[in-house]
Structure formats: C-alpha cells, structure tokens
C-alpha cells in the first residue's frame, strides 16, 4: 500500500488544530485561556479552530461558572482520540517509508 499525505485527515492540516489536539492528548481538559496561552493565538482564531474540531466531533465542551465568571473547558472525545492516533500513526508510517 502506498502511503500518501492525501490520506491524512484534513482537520489536522492547521497548526492551531494540531496544537489543540496535541494539548488535549496529554491533558484531560483545558480551558479556553490555557489553550489560547499555550498556542499563542487570538480569541477569534482559537474559537474558529475549536468550532471546526467540534463540528468533526473530535473535541467536547464543558461550560460552567467559577466565581460567577463563565469557564469553558475542552476535552478530546473518543472519536477525536481515534482520529488523532490514526493521524499520528499514518505520519509515522510516511516518515519511516522515506528512509
């Protein structure tokens, strides 16, 4: 079977979406502010990428209030974990095939 970059999931083409998934892969949950700081992006940029991952059902959202302030936390869904692991495995195979 020939491995191709065309086989990679389009949701992970963006540096920001890849960063969101990577951060959530090693953390159970992260709030909006933590993701924004970690990735060094604007509110609008982060919100746009989060919506795309939510639309794919790769991340879930948990909204709450802390001291009467809204707090939004994100987590990776089982579908997101599978898709991200599949992406990483395919990248690894592509890299190994080029040696």
- The reply to whether 46 falls in a domain is yes
Using CB atoms within 10 Å of the CB of residue 74, give its burial: 0 to 12 exposed, 13 to 18 middle, 19+ buried.
buried
pLDDT at 98: 76
Give the whole-angstrom CA distance, residue 53 versus residue 16.
11
Domain span at 52? 10-78
User: In this predicted model, what pLDDT tens digit does every residue of 8-24 receive, in sequence order?
Assistant: 778 888 999 999 999 99
- The reply to whether 52 falls in a domain is yes
- The reply to whether 96 falls in a domain is no
- The reply to whether 44 falls in a domain is yes
67 SS3 class: coil
pLDDT at 57: 96
Q: Is-contact 29 73, C-beta < 8 A?
A: yes
Q: What is the mean pLDDT of residues 88-95?
A: 86
pLDDT at 63: 92
- Domains: count for the chain: 1
- The reply to whether 84 falls in a domain is no
- The reply to whether 31 falls in a domain is yes
pTM of the model: 0.87
- The reply to whether 34 falls in a domain is yes
Q: What's the CATH number where 40 sits?
A: 1.10.10.10
- The mean of the pLDDT values for the chain is 90
């Amino acid at each position: 079977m020939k491995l191709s970059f065309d086989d990679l999931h389009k949701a992970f083409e963006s540096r920001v979406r890849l960063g969101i998934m990577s951060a959530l892969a090693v953390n159970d949950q992260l709030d909006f502010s933590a993701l924004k700081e970690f990735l060094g992006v604007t509110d609008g940029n982060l919100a746009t990428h989060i919506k795309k991952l939510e639309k794919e059902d790769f991340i879930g959202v948990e909204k709450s209030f802390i001291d009467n302030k809204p707090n939004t936390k994100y987590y990776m869904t089982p579908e997101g974990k599978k898709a991200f692991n599949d992406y990483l495995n395919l990248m690894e195979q592509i890299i190994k095939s080029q040696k």
